[in-house]
Amino acid sequence: MNDDSSTDSTSVNIEVVAFNYEAVEPENRKMIESHTQAIKARLRRTTQDIIEIGEMLADVKEYLLHGQFTLWLQIKFGWDVRSAQRFMSVAKLFKNDKLSFLAEEDLDKLAIAVSALYELAQPSTPEQARQEVVERAVAGEVMSHAKVKRIVQERKIKPAVDLAVGSDVEVVVRWNLCSVRILYNII
């Protein structure tokens, strides 16, 4: 077994759950609170817009001949196919039967960062992670890319450990703070 105790990074992620507006000058407080609400509303609108753009792109793609879609994307938007695929993957994700608990009116409540939407739509993302992120977003939590990525990584690690029952397994987990090695000897 290789003993690698080096650290990848010395940064520490701290999740702050509440902002203390008392530390802000009173004359600036209302403006900051107002901007906070406006930004959250636009983030929710962005999520809905990405889903709708993905649906429209998929519709257009159906009606164009092979190769025309790529040309259309380049001429009309300056995009490559991969950019369009990201939008379409997000739209497909939110039309997925496994997210059937999500009502149409809930889509405009989702505050999920754009990069986090793309992370959720990747085929390698566990379904449990998708559901947890969407449920938390519907409940009003703003889902940043870092938060979503952490949830996805946690859901990827657990099944890997569960599969190891009956064998010696070394699981390596990389965090920003350090590398952690855990040796499981499950009988």
CA dist 53 and 90 (Å) reads 9
Closest CA to 42 of 132, 90, 94, 34: 34
Joined together, the tokens standing for residue 169 give 């397994």
More reliable by pLDDT, 156 or 14: 156
Residue 84, in any domain of the structure: yes
DSSP string, 48-63: HHHHHHHHHHHHHHHH
Task: Report residue 111's pLDDT band, with 50, 70 and 90 as the boundaries.
Answer: confident
Residue 26, in any domain of the structure: yes
Burial class (CB in 10 A: 0-12, 13-18, 19+), 152: buried
Domain span holding position 141: 21-155
CA dist 135 and 103 (Å) reads 11
Residue 42, in any domain of the structure: yes
Joined together, the tokens standing for residue 83 give 């950019």
Domain count, the chain: 1
Residue 175, in any domain of the structure: no
How crowded is residue 47: how many other Cβ atoms within 10 Å of its Cβ?
24
The secondary structure of residue 173, as a DSSP letter, is E
More reliable by pLDDT, 62 or 98: 62
Q: What is the pLDDT of residues 56-74, one digit of tens each?
A: 999 999 999 888 999 999 9
